[in-house]
């Protein structure tokens, strides 16, 4: 090969192009390569030092949830034809991926009752920040009014982005577990670019989405963009954002057939009203026909995108989450029209059963009394960290430490408990027992966690 190139060595190819001064004159300081079995053992040893939802009874949620991922999702994601192609730049040989995007968009539109969806964005919180950018492009106003009920990661991400594109973020507090209606109406005016809330909110409470949207439009006018970050699984029982006056509905798609993966990759979904179509970020698959009249699919409305519009693009996103979105639409097809609702209703009932039984414990009280669908917040009359440690010792992860996540004083003692279809009544009862003993022990002033373990293994 060197002969064909006309060089005497590979080195020469580099020597002729890269100045000596910027060449690395030593080997990289990295371990040597290993055989496949050794790398496997190394990665397995690392995995063994994580306590996963396979290893303990896990009630963690707060944005990502331990739902059961059906085997067909893995099987399809692992097919070379879906796993290894690049973004479908050549539609004639990418109809599989393009049709999946089209189907995914259809499913998201159905879930949200909104007419347009893109083919996925990175994940939940940055989806909200991108929705904010859409609002800025749409009305070029100066302020976002956001509910304190948004996920703390969403608030943080939105602030980071908004500082970049130069928009002020004003936070509206909660009252009684949901966005304070007065403060909300108060904060919004004709300089408000977008009004943003979560459904259900971070504390698990179901917001009155229709009321919040209406109030926002009333105070900010039609140009204002109402944005909701919604939990797709909750939409099995909750009125869809499209029917609640929401302009743009975005959210975290992990619950839909994606693994936990310690936080990613998953996907963000992004749906909106027709009028925002040409300001959407990311890929959109559209239907068309080929020269022989066959139905086919292409990436469409690309004039929104960076590779065409460059500095005028509606977003800088390029590589997105196609494979995770495939998992999403396969999962939704697996659940099916009825199953999707059945699942929501099962979670609704189990979650309320869990909240009731937990709150019947001494030292455990509901943090709010709003309706909840799949997650709820309680306040412990004990040190949350200590209680969680005791539960962990008994093989139970009782949920997330609210204060650790929000840093809000009013969240001290708060515990956010998530329920999935993998958590049976028996699991919930075990949580109640273990948490009850942990709280009791802590309130007695923290003797050893042994009694908790005994309790748990009973």
Decide: residue 214, CB within 10 A, 0-12 exposed, 13-18 middle, 19+ buried. middle
- Scan residues 373-432 and list those touching a second copy (CB under 8 A): 421-422
Per CB under 8 A, 78 contacts a second copy: yes
Pick what 92 binds: a second copy, other proteins, ligand PLP, none; C-beta below 5 to 8 Å, kind-dependent: other proteins
Least spacing, CB of residue 324 vs a second copy, in Å: 20
Give the HSE-up count for residue 353: Cα atoms under 13 Å, Cβ half-sphere. 16
Selected range binding other proteins among 74-82, 140-148, 176-184, 187-195, rule: CB under 8 A: 74-82
The gap between the terminal CA atoms of the chain, to the nearest Å, is 70
- Scan residues 50-69 and list those touching a second copy (CB under 8 A): 68
Cα–Cα distance for residue pair 136/118, rounded to 1 Å: 18
Least spacing, CB of residue 430 vs a second copy, in Å: 14
Length of the chain: 458
The answer to whether the bond into 438 is cis (omega within 30° of 0) is no
Per CB under 6 A, 319 contacts ligand PLP: yes
Cα–Cα distance for residue pair 286/302, rounded to 1 Å: 11
Per CB under 8 A, 447 contacts a second copy: no
Cα–Cα distance for residue pair 47/164, rounded to 1 Å: 37
Nearer to ligand PLP, 314 or 430 (CB): 314
User: 294-302 — which CB contacts under 8 Å span 24+ positions?
Assistant: 296/91, 296/95, 296/98, 297/91, 297/95, 297/98, 297/99, 297/101, 297/102, 298/91, 298/98, 299/87, 299/88, 299/89, 299/91, 299/98, 301/277
Contact criterion met (CB below 8 Å) for 126 and 285: no
Q: Among 193, 213, 255, 397, which residue sits at the site for other proteins (rule: CB under 8 A)?
A: 397
Per CB under 8 A, 190 contacts a second copy: no
Selected range binding other proteins among 140-148, 177-185, 359-367, 397-405, rule: CB under 8 A: 397-405
Give the HSE-up count for residue 190: Cα atoms under 13 Å, Cβ half-sphere. 1
- Scan residues 341-380 and list those touching ligand PLP (CB under 6 A): none
Q: Among 40, 86, 89, 165, which residue sits at the site for a second copy (rule: CB under 8 A)?
A: 40
Q: Two tokens at 86?
A: 């690049």
Could you give the 3-state DSSP secondary structure of residue 380?
strand
Per CB under 8 A, 110 contacts a second copy: no
Nearer to ligand PLP, 139 or 321 (CB): 321
- Scan residues 239-298 and list those touching other proteins (CB under 8 A): 239-240, 243, 252, 259-265, 267, 277, 283-292, 294-298
**Which residue bears the tokens 């929000």?**
406
Nearer to ligand PLP, 170 or 318 (CB): 318
Nearer to other proteins, 3 or 445 (CB): 3
Cα–Cα distance for residue pair 141/163, rounded to 1 Å: 14
- In angstroms, the Cα distances linking 271 to 58, 100, 128, 185, 268 are 31, 16, 11, 25, 10
Which positions from 260 to 299 touch ligand PLP by CB under 6 A, shown as an x/- string? ----------------------------------------
Pick what 20 binds: other proteins, ligand PLP, a second copy, none; C-beta below 5 to 8 Å, kind-dependent: none
Nearer to a second copy, 78 or 362 (CB): 78
Q: Among 175, 181, 183, 333, which residue sits at the site for other proteins (rule: CB under 8 A)?
A: 333
- Scan residues 17-56 and list those touching other proteins (CB under 8 A): 17-19, 21-24, 27-40, 42-55
- Scan residues 176-205 and list those touching other proteins (CB under 8 A): none
The answer to whether the bond into 400 is cis (omega within 30° of 0) is no
Residues near a second copy, by CB under 8 A:
36-37, 40, 68, 70-71, 75, 78-79, 421-422
Residues that bind ligand PLP (CB under 6 A): 318-319
């Amino acid at each position: 090969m060197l002969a064909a190139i006309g060089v005497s060595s590979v080195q020469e190819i580099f020597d002729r192009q890269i100045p000596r001064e910027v060449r690395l004159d030593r080997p990289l300081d990295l371990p040597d390569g290993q055989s496949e079995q050794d790398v496997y053992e190394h990665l397995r040893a690392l995995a063994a030092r994580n306590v996963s939802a396979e290893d303990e009874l896990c009630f963690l949620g707060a944005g990502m949830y331990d739902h059961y991922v059906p085997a067909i999702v893995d099987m399809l994601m692992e097919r070379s034809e879906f796993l290894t192609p690049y973004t479908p730049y050549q539609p004639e040989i990418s109809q599989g991926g393009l049709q999946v995007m089209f189907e995914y968009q259809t499913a998201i539109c159905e879930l949200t009752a909104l007419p347009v969806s893109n083919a996925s964005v990175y994940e939940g919180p940055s989806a909200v920040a991108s929705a904010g950018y859409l609002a800025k492009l749409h009305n070029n106003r100066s302020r976002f009014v956001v509910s304190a009920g948004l996920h703390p990661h969403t608030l943080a991400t939105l602030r980071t982005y908004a500082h970049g594109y130069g928009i002020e973020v004003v936070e509206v507090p909660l009252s009684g577990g949901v966005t304070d209606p007065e403060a909300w109406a108060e904060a919004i005016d004709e300089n408000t670019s977008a009004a943003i809330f979560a459904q259900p909110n971070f504390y698990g409470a179901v917001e009155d989405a229709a009321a919040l949207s209406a109030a926002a439009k009333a105070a900010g006018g039609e140009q204002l963009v109402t944005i909701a970050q919604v939990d797709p699984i909750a939409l099995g029982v909750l009125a869809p954002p499209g029917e609640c006056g929401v302009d743009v509905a975005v959210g975290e798609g992990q619950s839909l057939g994606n693994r936990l993966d310690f936080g990613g990759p998953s996907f963000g979904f992004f749906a909106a009203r027709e009028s925002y179509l040409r300001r959407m970020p990311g890929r959109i698959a559209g239907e068309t026909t080929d020269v022989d009249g066959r139905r086919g699919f292409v990436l469409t409305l690309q004039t929104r995108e960076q590779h065409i519009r460059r500095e005028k693009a509606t977003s800088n996103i390029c590589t997105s989450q196609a494979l995770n979105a495939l998992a999403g639409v396969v999962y939704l097809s697996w659940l099916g029209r009825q199953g999707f609702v059945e699942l929501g209703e099962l979670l609704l009932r189990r979650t309320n059963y869990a909240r009731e039984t937990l709150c019947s414990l001494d030292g455990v009280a509901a943090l709010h009394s709003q309706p909840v669908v799949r997650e709820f917040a309680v306040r412990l009359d004990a040190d949350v960290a200590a209680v969680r440690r005791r539960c962990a010792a008994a093989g139970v992860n009782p949920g997330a430490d609210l204060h650790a996540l929000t840093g809000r004083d009013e969240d001290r003692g708060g515990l956010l408990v998530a329920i999935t279809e993998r958590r049976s009544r028996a699991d919930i009862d075990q949580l109640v027992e273990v948490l009850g003993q942990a709280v009791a022990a802590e309130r007695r002033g923290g003797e050893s966690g042994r009694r908790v373990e005994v309790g748990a293994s009973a």
